[in-house]
C-alpha cells in the first residue's frame, strides 16, 4: 500500500473509529478528528516529499484490479496538477476541523461526514480511472449535502437539494460519456478499460477519435458541462450562493477551498487531454462564459446585503479566472489558472473562516448589523484586511500572481489571434479585477469603519488559537505572493504536457503511459517518436513498463505503468 492510498484511508479509518465513540463525549470525538486529519496532512506531506518536479507524468502510481469484468480498476497517481490540490485538501480539512470545535449539534455525525468528505476529495485528485474518479466525485455529494442540511441555516433544505441535484444531474451525463470512452477503447483494442492513461495514449496517437464524427464534441461537452457546474461557471452557478449561505462555516471553507476545484481540476485532467480537437473548438464559447462569469459574479457580489453571499458570488468571479486561464491554452495562462485554484482555496477559505469566527459571536451576517468593528476588534480587522486584499489580487500576495498569469495567457492567445479570441476578452476580464477591489473594499468599509454599531460593543477580539488558525492561511498568502516558484515549479511540466496534449496535432502529443516522453528544460517535448517497447525498464522515469502479455492477462490495455518497487 503506497503513500497515496494511505492518505486516503486515514480519514476513512478515522470515520469508522468515530462511530465507536459514544456521542456523549464530544471532546473525544473532536480530538479524534483532529488526530486523523493531522495524520492525513502529515501523510500528504509524505507524498510531497516523494514527489519529483522533473517529470510531467504520474508518480507513485498504484494499481489494483477492482471490477475486471467491466474494465474498472483502482488506479491512483499524482502529478504536478494534482499535488498541490491534494495537499490543500488535507490542510483545509484540518483547519476546518479545528474551527469546528464550535459545533455542538450531533458532533459525531458532523465529524464523520467531514472525514468522509476528506477521503472522497483526496480520491478525486488522484484517480486515474474514470469510474474511480466518478465514484469519489459523487461520493462528496452526500456528506456535503448532509452538512448543509443538518447544520445549515434557515433555508438549508432548498440549498442542500439544489446542491445535490445540480451536480448529480450534470455528472450523470458525464458517466454516460465515460462509458462511451471505454466502449470506444474496446472497439479499437478489444479491451474495455476506464484507465485514462490507456485512453489518452490512443488520443495522443490520433487513433481514438478517427472516424467518429462529432462524438468527440458530444462527449467533451458531457464532461465539461458536469465540471463547469462544479466550478461553478456562469450560467450553472446558481446553486453556489445558496449552498455557501446555508452551509456551516467549515462546510463553506471546504466547499470553496476544495470542492469547487474538483471542477477545474477535471477540466485539466480530462477535458483537455482526452478531447483535443473539441477543446480547441470550445475555447471561444468557454472563454466567453468565463468572462461573463467574471463580470457577472463581481456585479452581483457588489449588491449583496450579506457578507457570506458576497464572498460566494466573488467565488463565481474568481473561478471564472481559473477557467479563463485554463482555456487560454497558453503555458502562462494555464499555469495561472492552475495556480489561481490554490489561491482561491486559500483566500476564500480564509474569508469564510473569518466570517465564521465573527458569526459565532454575533449570529448575523448582514452588513446593516455591522459597522465600526475596527476599533472593537483590531486583530480581527487586520487579518481580515490581509485576506481580503489577497482576494482582490494585490501585488505581493498570492492572488495577484494567479490572476496576472491567467490574464497574460489570455492576452497572448488573443494577441496571436488563436481560436478566434480578441483582445476584448482579457480586457473585460481585467475589469473584473477592478470590480473585485471595488466590492470587497466596499464591504470592508461597511463592516469595519463608520460608527460602531452599539450591539457590537461587547465583542471580544480573536483568541490566540483563532489567530493561529487564520495565521496559517496568511503564511500561505504571502508565501504564494512573494515566492510563487515553490508552488509553480512542480506544476510546470505537467501543465506543459497537458497543454501539448490539447493543442499539438495527433502523433505529436505526449502520452502519459509512454515513459520515453519527456519535457526538457526549455519546455520542449523530446523522444516523441520513441515507442514503448515491451519489457523495457526505464529507470530515469521511475516506472517500469509491464510486458503487454502480462497486462492483457490482467484485462488491461497494451502497456501501462506500474510503480517501481
Partner 1 sequence: MIQIPTIDWGVLMPTIIVFVTGIIGLLVEMFRPKQNNNLIVGLSLAGLTAAFVLLLGQLGAEPTTTIANMVFRDQLAVLLQLVMLGATALCFLFSEGYLRQRRIAFGEFYPLALWSLGGAMIMVGTQNLLMLFVGLEVLSIALYCLSGMARGDQRSEESALKYFLLGAFASAFLLYGIAFIYGASGTLDLEGFKIALYATDSTFVMAVFAIALMLVGLGFKAALVPFHQWTPDVYQGAPTNVTAFMSIISKVAAMGALIRVLTAADALQNFWFPALTGIAIATMTVGNLVALVQKDVKRALGYSSVAHAGYLLVGILAHLKMPVEIPLASVIFYFVTYTAMTIGAFAMISITAKDGKEGTRTQDLNGMWRKAPYAAGVLFICLVSLIGVPPTGGFFGKLAIFNDALAAGLPVLAITLAINSVISTFYYWQIAKAAFVDDEPALQTDFAHLNPGLKLTGAICVIGVLGIAFMASPLINSGSTAGRDTMSVIQLEPDVQDTPAIAVPIPTEVNQEVR
Residues interacting with partner 1, by CB under 8 A?
66-70, 131, 134-136, 138-139, 141-142, 149-150, 157, 161, 164-165, 168-169, 172-173, 175-176, 179-180, 183
Angstrom distance (rounded) from CA 208 to CA 199: 8
To which H or E segment does residue 99 belong?
helix 80-99
- Nearer to partner 1 (CB atom), residue 4 or residue 253: 4
Helix-strand-coil split of the chain, %, nearest 5: 70, 5, 25
- Nearer to partner 1 (CB atom), residue 138 or residue 277: 138
Taking the complex as a whole, the smallest distance from the CB of residue 65 to partner 1 amounts, in Å, to: 8
Pick from 400, 299, 398, 293: which is nearest to 350 by CA?
398
- Nearer to partner 1 (CB atom), residue 143 or residue 410: 143
Cell of 329: 491554452
Cell of 219: 462527449
Cell of 100: 469546528
- Nearer to partner 1 (CB atom), residue 266 or residue 481: 266
* Strand positions, DSSP E, 24-96: 59-67, 72-78
CA dihedral over 496, 502, 505, 511, signed as positive or negative: positive
Cell of 517: 516522453
Residues 6+ apart with CB under 8 A from 257: 88, 92, 345, 346, 348, 349
Taking the complex as a whole, the smallest distance from the CB of residue 14 to partner 1 amounts, in Å, to: 18
Cβ–Cβ < 8 Å for 317, 298: yes
Angstrom distance (rounded) from CA 336 to CA 409: 8
Cell of 480: 504564494
- Nearer to partner 1 (CB atom), residue 288 or residue 554: 554
Cell of 466: 483563532
Cell of 318: 474568481
Angstrom distance (rounded) from CA 250 to CA 233: 23
Residues 6+ apart with CB under 8 A from 402: 321, 322, 325, 336, 337, 339, 340, 341, 342, 343, 344, 393
- Nearer to partner 1 (CB atom), residue 49 or residue 69: 69
Taking the complex as a whole, the smallest distance from the CB of residue 155 to partner 1 amounts, in Å, to: 12
Taking the complex as a whole, the smallest distance from the CB of residue 169 to partner 1 amounts, in Å, to: 4
Taking the complex as a whole, the smallest distance from the CB of residue 268 to partner 1 amounts, in Å, to: 22
Taking the complex as a whole, the smallest distance from the CB of residue 421 to partner 1 amounts, in Å, to: 33
- Nearer to partner 1 (CB atom), residue 153 or residue 523: 153
Taking the complex as a whole, the smallest distance from the CB of residue 20 to partner 1 amounts, in Å, to: 15
Angstrom distance (rounded) from CA 348 to CA 473: 10
Pick from 471, 486, 483, 299: which is nearest to 386 by CA?
471
- Nearer to partner 1 (CB atom), residue 152 or residue 409: 152
* Strand positions, DSSP E, 503-547: 518-519, 525-526, 537-538, 543-545
- Nearer to partner 1 (CB atom), residue 4 or residue 405: 4
Geometric angle at alpha carbon 59, from 55 and 65, rounded to 5°: 145
- Nearer to partner 1 (CB atom), residue 218 or residue 412: 218
Pick from 380, 307, 367, 335: which is nearest to 499 by CA?
335
Taking the complex as a whole, the smallest distance from the CB of residue 111 to partner 1 amounts, in Å, to: 16
Residues 6+ apart with CB under 8 A from 529: none
Taking the complex as a whole, the smallest distance from the CB of residue 388 to partner 1 amounts, in Å, to: 35
To which H or E segment does residue 561 belong?
strand 561-563
- Nearer to partner 1 (CB atom), residue 133 or residue 444: 133
- Nearer to partner 1 (CB atom), residue 165 or residue 537: 165
Angstrom distance (rounded) from CA 511 to CA 2: 24
Taking the complex as a whole, the smallest distance from the CB of residue 139 to partner 1 amounts, in Å, to: 6
Taking the complex as a whole, the smallest distance from the CB of residue 176 to partner 1 amounts, in Å, to: 6
Taking the complex as a whole, the smallest distance from the CB of residue 52 to partner 1 amounts, in Å, to: 32
Amino acid at each position: 500500500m503506497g503513500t497515496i492510498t494511505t492518505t486516503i484511508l486515514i480519514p476513512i479509518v478515522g470515520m469508522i473509529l468515530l462511530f465507536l465513540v459514544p456521542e456523549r463525549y464530544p471532546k473525544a470525538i473532536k480530538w479524534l478528528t483532529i488526530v486523523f486529519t493531522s495524520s492525513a496532512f502529515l501523510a500528504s506531506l509524505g507524498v510531497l516529499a516523494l514527489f519529483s518536479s522533473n517529470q510531467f507524468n504520474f508518480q507513485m502510481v498504484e494499481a489494483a484490479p477492482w471490477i475486471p469484468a467491466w474494465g474498472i480498476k483502482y488506479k491512483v497517481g499524482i502529478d504536478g496538477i494534482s499535488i498541490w490540490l491534494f495537499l490543500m485538501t488535507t490542510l483545509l480539512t484540518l483547519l476546518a476541523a479545528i474551527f469546528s470545535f464550535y459545533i455542538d449539534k450531533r458532533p459525531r455525525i458532523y465529524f464523520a461526514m467531514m472525514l468522509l468528505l476528506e477521503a472522497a476529495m483526496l480520491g478525486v485528485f488522484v484517480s486515474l480511472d474514470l469510474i474511480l474518479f466518478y465514484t469519489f466525485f459523487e461520493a462528496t455529494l452526500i456528506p456535503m449535502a448532509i452538512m448543509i442540511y443538518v447544520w445549515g441555516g434557515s433555508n438549508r433544505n432548498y440549498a442542500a437539494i439544489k446542491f445535490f441535484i445540480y451536480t448529480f444531474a450534470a455528472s450523470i451525463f458525464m458517466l454516460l460519456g465515460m462509458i462511451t470512452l471505454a466502449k470506444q477503447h474496446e472497439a479499437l483494442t478489444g479491451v474495455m478499460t476506464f484507465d485514462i492513461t490507456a485512453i489518452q495514449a490512443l488520443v495522443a496517437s490520433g487513433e481514438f477519435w478517427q472516424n467518429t464524427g462529432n462524438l468527440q464534441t458530444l462527449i467533451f461537452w458531457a464532461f465539461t458541462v458536469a465540471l463547469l457546474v462544479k466550478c461553478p461557471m456562469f450560467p450553472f452557478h446558481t446553486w453556489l450562493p445558496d449552498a455557501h449561505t446555508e452551509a456551516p462555516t467549515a462546510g463553506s471553507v471546504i466547499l470553496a477551498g476544495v470542492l469547487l476545484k474538483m471542477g477545474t481540476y477535471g477540466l485539466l485532467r480530462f477535458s483537455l487531454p482526452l478531447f483535443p480537437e473539441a477543446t480547441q473548438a470550445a475555447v471561444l464559447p468557454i472563454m466567453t462564459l468565463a468572462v461573463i462569469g467574471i463580470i457577472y459574479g463581481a456585479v452581483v457580489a457588489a449588491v449583496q446585503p450579506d457578507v457570506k453571499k458576497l464572498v460566494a458570488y466573488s467565488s463565481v468571479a474568481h473561478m471564472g479566472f481559473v477557467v479563463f486561464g485554463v482555456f487560454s491554452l497558453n503555458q502562462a495562462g494555464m499555469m495561472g489558472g492552475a495556480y489561481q485554484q490554490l489561491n482561491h482555496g486559500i483566500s476564500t477559505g480564509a474569508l469564510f473562516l473569518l466570517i465564521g469566527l465573527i458569526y459565532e459571536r454575533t449570529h448575523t451576517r448582514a452588513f446593516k448589523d455591522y459597522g465600526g468593528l475596527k476599533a472593537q476588534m483590531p486583530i480581527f480587522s487586520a487579518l481580515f484586511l490581509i485576506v481580503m486584499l489577497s482576494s482582490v489580487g494585490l501585488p505581493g500576495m498570492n492572488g495577484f500572481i494567479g490572476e496576472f498569469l491567467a490574464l497574460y495567457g489570455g492576452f497572448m492567445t488573443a494577441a496571436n489571434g488563436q481560436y478566434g479570441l480578441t483582445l476584448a476578452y482579457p480586457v473585460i476580464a481585467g475589469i473584473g479585477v477592478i470590480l473585485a477591489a471595488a466590492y470587497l473594499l466596499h464591504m470592508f468599509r461597511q463592516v469595519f469603519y463608520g460608527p460602531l454599531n452599539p450591539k457590537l460593543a461587547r465583542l471580544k477580539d480573536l483568541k490566540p488559537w483563532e489567530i493561529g488558525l487564520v495565521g496559517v492561511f496568511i503564511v500561505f498568502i504571502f508565501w504564494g505572493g512573494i515566492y510563487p516558484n515553490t508552488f509553480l515549479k512542480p506544476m510546470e511540466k505537467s501543465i506543459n504536457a497537458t497543454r501539448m496534449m490539447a493543442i499539438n496535432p495527433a502523433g505529436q502529443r505526449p502520452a502519459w503511459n509512454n515513459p520515453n516522453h519527456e519535457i526538457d528544460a526549455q519546455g520542449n517535448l523530446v523522444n516523441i517518436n520513441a515507442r514503448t517497447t515491451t519489457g523495457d525498464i526505464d529507470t530515469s522515469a521511475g516506472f517500469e513498463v509491464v510486458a503487454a502479455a502480462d497486462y492483457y492477462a490482467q484485462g488491461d490495455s497494451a502497456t501501462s505503468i506500474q510503480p517501481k518497487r
